[in-house]
Amino acid sequence: MATGIKDKVAILGMGCSRFGERWDASPEDLMVEAYNEAMTDAGIGPEQLDAAWFSTHMDDVGVGRGGTPMGIALRLPNIGVTRVENFCAGGSEAIRGAVYAVASGACDIAIALGVEKLKDTGYGGLPVATVGTYIPQWYPNAVAPANFAQLAAAYQQKHRVEPDLLKRAMAHVSVKSHANGALNAKAHLRKPITEEQVLRAPTIAEPLGLFDCCGVSDGAAAVIVTTPEIARGLGKRDLVTFKGLQVSVSNGWELQSNDWDGSYVHTARIAARKAYQEAGITNPREQISMLEVHDCFSITELVTMEDLFISEQGGAVNDVLDGVFDADGALPCQIDGGLKCFGHPIGASGIRMLYEMYLQLQGRAGERQLPDPVLGLTHNLGGQPSQNVCSVSIVGREGA
């Protein structure tokens, strides 16, 4: 019987580049930026790294297939670099690889780094990707906003929410994230916005407008992990440890069967249940201090609150409008601005979410520091509502 990951692995150091339209930086520069911060924070040298996990998704744009881009950019001492891709959840997948390596005892210290260079395409939004030879022959030339907009259509239909009310709740999600992002010097979008601005913005994919969509950004983030014992031996105090680390991947049931109603993300519920069990959480709404969820679109964040069993089914609209997830609410969400404003460099996002949890748990989040957080949850979703990869991770103070 597996005993899970709880408290077996600690964060030794983390780094995150400034996210945004980094016209000044190549993927190598972004990697170095995150790496330097993480290594300084960890207080170790490259020779102490045993293994590396490297997350990048859009290889056609900037980085390249294989582990060499990370090995070369960071001049790593010929350690193994495992490249992982798992749509937008690749960052969390890299973390999982590094954490499992340490937990297994195969490595003392491992690094996970995610990077994405999206702004070398010449246009806004995610790059147009190729998806093999069969899918393009029947599957719509789908784009992320329209894939996630369908969550809104189905959610509205299922819960009989008035379209205007749902639009307003979605707007609140974005207004909140912009307010948070304004306090984050590394964030891509740092301008507060109003509900009226959101509602009047041009439509991208009905019913999503411009401000319902997250930033598409360049950036990198890195985490160095080790055992709590080694961390303490290196002089670390107030350790942040992993409590639960779960990934769930679709098997086609949502996409092909007639049973899924389209109003929620099936894998998120599975990953959440398993992560809570692994972390020993029985009442997430009460026990978790803060959330970083995959707010690629405002509707995703709203629905995620139900998928994580934090809001009742159909209750997220009211929770959002009541300010539960605002910075001063009962359960702050996207305190760093989220994908919406911190930005979304695909392969780095899962690690960026962890970065905020780490800073908050160590009391190092500056102007946006929350009072005394104990447990943080990151939810990292890749793909689309009907077929995806969903990671739910829980981290917290050691022993919590």
Partner 1 sequence: MIGIVGYGAYLPRLRLSRRAVFDANAWYAPQFAGKARGHRTMANWDEDSVTMAVAAARDCLGPGDDRSRVRALALASSSLPFAERLNAGIVAEALTLDERVLAQDVTGSQRVALSALAQALAAVRGGQGETLLLAADNRQTSAASAAELDYGDGAAAVLLGSDGVLAEYLGGAHRTVDFVDRFRRTGESIDYHWEERWVRDEGIDRQMPEVIAEALTQAGVEAAAVDHFIFPAAFAKVDTRLAARCGIPPEAVVDNLAERAGNTGVAHGLLLLAGVLQRARPGQIVLLTQFGNGGEALVFRVTEAIDHFRPVVGLEGWLERGREETAYTRFLSFQGRLHLERGMRGEQDKKTALTTLYRHRRAILGLVAGRCRETGEVHFPPSRISYTPGKPVQDSQESWKLAERQGRVLSWSAEYLSWHMSPPHQYGQVDFDGGGRILMDFTDVERGDISSGCAVEMVFRIKDTDETRGFNRYFWKATPLRDASQQPEKSE
> Measured from the CB of residue 157, what is the shortest distance to partner 1 in angstroms?
4
Pairing outcome for strands 208-209 and 10-16: unpaired
Q: For residue 239, with 0-12 CB atoms within 10 Å meaning exposed, 13-18 middle and 19 or more buried, which class applies? A: buried
Query: Judged by CB, which is closer to partner 1: 252, or 399?
Result: 252
Query: Judged by CB, which is closer to partner 1: 163, or 233?
Result: 163
How does DSSP classify residue 21?
-
Pairing outcome for strands 290-292 and 51-55: unpaired
Catalytic residue among 178, 344, 379, 390: 344
Q: How far apart (Å, rounded) are the C-alpha atoms in residues 165 and 323?
A: 15
**Helices (H), ranges, 109-143:** none
- Residue among 205, 59, 55, 147 at smallest CA distance from 387: 147
> Measured from the CB of residue 122, what is the shortest distance to partner 1 in angstroms?
5
Q: How far apart (Å, rounded) are the C-alpha atoms in residues 12 and 17?
A: 17
Pairing outcome for strands 387-397 and 240-249: antiparallel
> Measured from the CB of residue 196, what is the shortest distance to partner 1 in angstroms?
21
Query: Judged by CB, which is closer to partner 1: 155, or 242?
Result: 155
Q: Which region holds residue 66: left if phi is over 0, alpha if psi is between -120 and 50, else beta?
A: left
DSSP codes, 235-268? T--S-EEEEEEEEEE--SHHHHSS---SSS-HHH
Query: Judged by CB, which is closer to partner 1: 24, or 261?
Result: 261
Query: Judged by CB, which is closer to partner 1: 143, or 327?
Result: 143
> Measured from the CB of residue 10, what is the shortest distance to partner 1 in angstroms?
37
DSSP codes, 48-66? G--EEEEE---TTTTS-SS
Query: Judged by CB, which is closer to partner 1: 70, or 316?
Result: 316
Catalytic residue among 88, 213, 214, 333: 88
Output the six-digit token pair for 384. 């689309």
> Measured from the CB of residue 156, what is the shortest distance to partner 1 in angstroms?
7
Q: Which SS3 state, helix, strand or coil, does residue 162 take?
A: coil
**Helices (H), ranges, 236-386:** 253-256, 266-279, 284-287, 298-307, 316-321, 338-341, 349-361
Name the one residue in this structure whose structure tokens are 């992982």.
84
Q: Which residues bind partner 1 (CB under 8 A)?
A: 121-123, 125, 128, 130, 133-134, 136-143, 145-147, 149-151, 153-154, 156-157, 202-206, 208, 251-253, 255-258, 261-262, 386
Query: Judged by CB, which is closer to partner 1: 97, or 382?
Result: 382
> Measured from the CB of residue 50, what is the shortest distance to partner 1 in angstroms?
37
> Measured from the CB of residue 139, what is the shortest distance to partner 1 in angstroms?
7
Output the six-digit token pair for 225. 């992990």
Active site residue 344: yes
CA distances from 50 to 69, 126, 177, 279, 280 (A): 17, 34, 37, 27, 30
Q: For residue 190, with 0-12 CB atoms within 10 Å meaning exposed, 13-18 middle and 19 or more buried, which class applies? A: middle
Active site residue 178: no
Catalytic residue numbers, as ranges: 88, 344
